[in-house]
Amino acid sequence: MSVNNLLERLTHELPTALGEPVTITRFESAGGGCINSALRLYLSTGTTLFVKWNPDAPSDIFECEAEALRIMQQATSLKVPTPIIVGNATPHTPSFLVLEDLTASNSRSRRDPNIKFDEELAKGLAEMHCYCGPAFGFSRDNFIGATPQPNAWSDSWLEFFRHQRLEHMVKLLSEKGKITGATANLAARFLEKLDRFLGGIATKPVLLHGDLWGGNVMPDANGRPALIDPACYYGHHEADLAMTQLFGGFSARFYEVYAEILPLADGYRERFQIYNLYHILNHAYLFGGGYLNQAVSIMARFV
């Protein structure tokens, strides 16, 4: 599969998707992350588009992302890129997702010092965390990075997080031979005791970004905060907030403004470690390294 084949397909599909005659005048690599490749397309209309593509991606990974982006657009005033085409793989072209280009430039926009970026981000996230779902879960299973993420509906946040987040990840790691013996016993004991920490909280299912680290927040072309690359589901709002603390990149002012709108309940200092355990286990599954040792340390702390 080649980029030229992908561009040829996009040349045929873009006029229909955009509702006007259009051609691709040039393109350039837009970097991409550790999972997908990315292109920026320059069109004859003077606009640009962002394309993610992957010849080895699960068949529905971009459909899942497009659905999540559309729901986030309903739930928050923060900028979220509009999906334009979801393309399934063919023998000659990879699966792909064409998106609105938020930067409309050759590189990510810089934050405008005249815009209170962190305050807008906190308000927009809190707004999304007031958008309620019918139960904990999502309308379909999706992905956290490239890892399958089950989302069957549940009326219990404790049971949802225990079975469809932590237990699911432990199972994947066990099947990969990364969790065995004493570590497997530790994980089982930790999961049994999870109700001590999550069982007594009063929460309702609200829309989560699901993968809210600093790299998935960016300034748009106007310097305002935008959210990208979601792994959405309806859950406890603290799970999103906890991930913002996992790798840093969020200011003290962001947390101050967020807490003014959605104050954190007692016990958050314990819960945020448990919520981040999910992402640490996922990193152990995807990347290995010291992430499993970090996960073991967290579980041992609570057993």
Q: What's 71's domain CATH number? A: 3.30.200.20
For 4-46, write each residue's pLDDT tens digit: 999 999 999 999 999 999 999 999 988 766 778 999 999 999 9
Question: What is the mean predicted confidence (pLDDT) over 209-237?
Answer: 96
Concerning whether 211 is annotated as a catalytic residue, the answer is: yes
Listed residues 100, 126, 152: the one ending a domain:
100
pTM of the model: 0.93
Q: Are residues 162 and 293 in the same domain?
A: yes
- The pLDDT assigned to 2 comes to 75
Give residue 112's pLDDT. Answer: 60
Q: Is residue 109 part of a domain?
A: no
- Confidence (pLDDT) at 108: 45
Residues 130 and 34 in one domain: no
Residue 210: its pLDDT value, please?
98
End-of-domain residue from the set 100, 126, 156:
100
146 and 289 inside one domain: yes
In this structure, are 172 and 50 located in the same domain?
no
User: 86 is in which domain, residue-wise?
Assistant: 3-100
* DSSP secondary structure of the chain: --HHHHHHHHHHHHHHHHTS---EEEEEEEEE-SS-EEEEEEETTS-EEEEEEETTS-TTHHHHHHHHHHHHHHH-SSB-PPEEEEE---SSS-EEEEEE-SS-SSSPPPPPTTS-HHHHHHHHHHHHTT-B-SSBB-SS-EEETTEEE----BS-HHHHHIIIIIIHHHHHHHHTTSS-HHHHHHHHHHHHTTHHHHTT-----EEE-S--SGGGEEE-TTS-EEE-S---EEE-HHHHHHHHTTS----HHHHHHHHHHSPPPTTHHHHHHHHHHHHHHHHHHHH-TTHHHHHHHHHHHH-
Round to whole Å and give the CA distance between 6 and 10: 6
Domain count, the chain: 2
Out of 56, 141, 155, 211, the active site residue is 211
Residue 1 has pLDDT above 70, yes or no: no
| pLDDT, tens only, 232-266 | 999 999 999 999 999 998 999 999 999 999 999 99
Average pLDDT of the chain is 93
Question: Which pLDDT value is given to residue 107?
Answer: 44
